[in-house]
Amino acid sequence: MSDESSVHVVMFPSAGMGHLTPFLRLASLLLNNHCKLTLITPLPTVSHAESQLLSHFHSSFPQLNLLPFHLPPPPSPPPISVDPFFHRVLTLRNSIHLIPPLISSLSPPISIFISDIFLVTPLLSITQKLSLPNYTLFTSSAAMLCFYSHFPAIAHSKPDDDDDAPEISFPVPGLPFSPLPYSYIPPIIFQPNTIFRNQIIEDSPNLSKLHGVFLNTFESLESHSLKALNDGQVIENKPPVYAVGPFLPFEFEKKNTSTQLSRWLDDQPIGSVVYVCFGSRTSLKREQMREIGNGLMRSGYKFVWVVKDKIVDKEEQVGLGEVLGVELVEGMKEKGLVVKEWVDQTEILSHKSVGGFVSHCGWNSIMEASLNGVPILAWPQHGDQKINAELVEISEWGIWNKSWGWGGELVVKGDEIGDAIKEIMENELLKDKAMKVKEGAMKAMSIGGDCEVTIQKLIQKWKNNVNNSV
């Protein structure tokens, strides 16, 4: 195919590993199907982990065109209390007007534009003016997309009296567990004038103006929500919703096999290790982390625990002894590994020794657990995570103690944590269901599976559009 008639996809992620990782995994699917791909990379990144991932990705796909987008400095520094990732999203949305000159000289002409869900509305006027088909990647579950689409109606129906709100629930089309309890909705989006709330209120009605929505999910896990979305039960004048997951890890992730961590896992019996991680953005209070340590010791199981006490790790590193207490750190040395840096989660979850996962239920983590058939102890901390945790529980491959609330609301004691860990490590029903989820995930990703068929049909459609316009 000539360069002029090839499909040229431009992709534009936002901020945070939770968004960048699935974005690049979708990019790898398109690159492996011979699309020309330009990745707009907002700089500087918020975290060092994002910079490293971009560097590794470009090394693995040298044909990728990286288009740096140097963001202007904000007019004033954000308050210390503002989440740096949300602040980056706001900066991006306010800087979208700088994109047209950046992409005007790209060759061959752009065929498709795929942006992060956080950038929908600001980009619409640009893609409409350039007559570009506009898609978005929604980086959570199909269930969460149902909620996201319906949120403006929920916001208008919520009673003004907050004392009454916890007792109510909301019918949400497409949710497999509707009505949705008020307690499952992240409190931040009911607070007036927060970045996240304003973004959903503004962007949700504009989903109908898109050409399609990509989801990192698969049919056998979310058939109810996917059907409702594509039947128009959730979004009026809906765009097509494409389930193209679960996204597979990158090849360069699989090559990291000689680490101390992997060697330690190699020495453990099959299914004997519990993995504890709350994602790339969740920092816990030190008191709660010490209770987790006590719970791990109480459980009696070997463990790998990723500790994080800051949202973004800066140059200054605080030692584990200061975070957890020297006595606890010493006591845990015989039982497991405690790490305080970014880890290759796919390497851990895919290891035969890992038999359970204590997770915040970020969607990337759930998809990675699904690919490896690992039972989950759900402990939602913020955002979409209670909706995701409920999906795991009703699929019967995980448990969720709803009395633990949102992260930071209360300190969950070590004995409760230890007992819950024993449950996921010893419950045979959870293990059986987790393996069934894995079978569905692997089938979706296999040759001739839903993901491959969907991607190839889309690319053929885009090629036809390009050829018709040449």
Residues noted as catalytic:
19, 116
Q: Strand pairing partners for 400?
A: 378
The alpha carbon torsion through 460, 125, 12, 392 (nearest 10 deg) reads: -80
Work out whether the CA dihedral 210, 211, 215, 221 comes out positive or negative.
positive
3-state secondary structure 212-231: EEEECCCHHHHHHHHHHHHC
Instruction: Find out whether 78 and 88 touch, Cβ atoms under 8 Å.
Output: no
The DSSP element (H or E) to which 87 belongs, if any, is helix 84-94
How many CB atoms are located within 10 Å of the residue 207 CB? 24
Closest C-alpha to 425, from 356, 337, 377: 356
Closest C-alpha to 245, from 389, 18, 444: 444
User: How do beta strands 273-277 and 354-359 pair?
Assistant: parallel
Q: Which residue has the tokens 């997951």?
A: 245
3-state secondary structure 279-326: CCCCCCCHHHHHHHHHHHHHHCCEEEEECCCCCCCCCCCCCHHHHHCH
Rounded Cα distance, 119 and 113, in Å: 12
Burial class (CB in 10 A: 0-12, 13-18, 19+), 315: exposed
Rounded Cα distance, 278 and 296, in Å: 15
Instruction: Find out whether 392 and 398 touch, Cβ atoms under 8 Å.
Output: yes
249: DSSP letter: P
Cα–chain-centroid distance for residue 62? 25
Measured CA distances, 109 to 27, 64, 210, 341 (Å): 18, 16, 20, 41
- List, as one string, the DSSP characters of 383-439: TTHHHHHHHHHHTTSEEE-GGG-STTSS---HHHHHHHHHHHHH-HHHHHHHHHHHH
Instruction: Find out whether 459 and 451 touch, Cβ atoms under 8 Å.
Output: no
Rounded Cα distance, 230 and 227, in Å: 5
